[in-house]
Amino acid sequence: MRLGSSPPVRARHHRESRPPQQSEIRHHRRNIQVSNYQANTGIAQGVGTGEIPAVRANIRSVRRTPNQSRRSAIRTAFVFDLDGTLIDSAPDIADAANRLLVEYGGTPQPIGKVMKMVGGGAPKLLERAFAAAGLAMPPAEEVLARFLEYYHTGPAMMTKPYPGVPHLLGALHRAGNPIALCTNKPGRATDAILTRLGWDGLFDAVVSGDDLSVKKPDPLPVLAALFLAGGTPNRAVYVGDSHVDVQAARNAGLPVMVLTHGYAHGPVSALRADALATTIRPLLRLAGS
């Protein structure tokens, strides 16, 4: 993976209720421009060699950290997917989905099968689950609301980080690398999982599936997470586990590493990622870089 260099602006962010009003992304080769991206306290600061605004959106507010100066040194930024990348959440997702299927007269699906349904957000998961159970799909809003009710009763009771992930995140945080989370999972569930795992405040930016009007593989969530964390596209890497992640990273102009322990639909070698890894260990070598 080839990474450039540019000084990021370090900041921490937390969830707010209003999404950005509008966005326009122009992607030309590996030069990303984000323009017309509005927020109530938005800023635009040129970074890198071009006029690339560092976006501050009203999905997260910004406060400076005491170690801002240390973290403003040149560092590689990391944008992480959540499910199947940092955490094994399939047991909790499968439990909620199967309870929903039973409610609608269907048959529970094996966890291994549900794992292959993850990716693209909860609505896509439910479409796949109902199809696998041979059920007609109910109205999307109705079934999504019921699924989230089941899931929110315990979104992380059986969810665990993959081996080495807590150590990696801690090492990147201590080294001053900007780290962002970009997931299609709804914000309420994302926040509950971060709290349950003790990861509150660990990420410099968190963009969930309902923060914006679009989800991955659209590049906007990835770029929003990256800029909010203080990173820039020419010195960043995206880490995921599925075709949705690879496509999102490509759309955003970022190199992408795929972890093979996740929820890819089919052989990971077919994803055409820039790098494949069976563990997060290779990323540790980039801490502080």
Q: CA nearest 84: which of 221, 249, 264?
A: 264
What does the pLDDT read at residue 149? 93
Domain annotation covers residue 136:
yes
| Average pLDDT value for residue range 152-174 | 91
Q: Which of 81, 88, 211, 245 is catalytic?
A: 81
DSSP assignment string, 207-234: E-TTTSS--TTSHHHHHHHHHHHT--GG
| Average pLDDT value for residue range 39-63 | 31
Whole-number mean pLDDT of the chain?
Answer: 77
Enumerate the known binding-site residues.
81, 83, 241
Domain annotation covers residue 102:
yes
Count of structural domains, the chain:
1
Domain annotation covers residue 283:
no
Q: Does residue 29 register a pLDDT over 80?
A: no
Q: Is 81 noted as a catalytic residue in this protein? A: yes
Ramachandran assignment for 223, one of left (phi > 0), alpha (psi -120 to 50 degrees), beta (any other):
alpha
Domain annotation covers residue 105:
yes
Provide the residue range defining the domain that includes 141.
89-152
**pLDDT tens by residue, 208-245:** 999 998 999 999 999 999 999 999 999 999 999 999 99
Domain annotation covers residue 275:
no
Domain annotation covers residue 215:
no
CATH code of the domain in which 121 resides = 1.10.150
| Average pLDDT value for residue range 256-261 | 95
Domain annotation covers residue 130:
yes
Listed range (40-49, 140-149, 169-178) with the worst mean pLDDT: 40-49
Q: Which residues pair with 238 in a beta bridge?
A: 79, 256
Q: Does residue 52 register a pLDDT over 80?
A: no
Enumerate the known binding-site residues for Mg(2+).
81, 83, 241
Q: CA nearest 37: which of 50, 48, 53?
A: 53
Listed range (45-54, 57-66, 253-262) with the worst mean pLDDT: 45-54
Domain annotation covers residue 253:
no
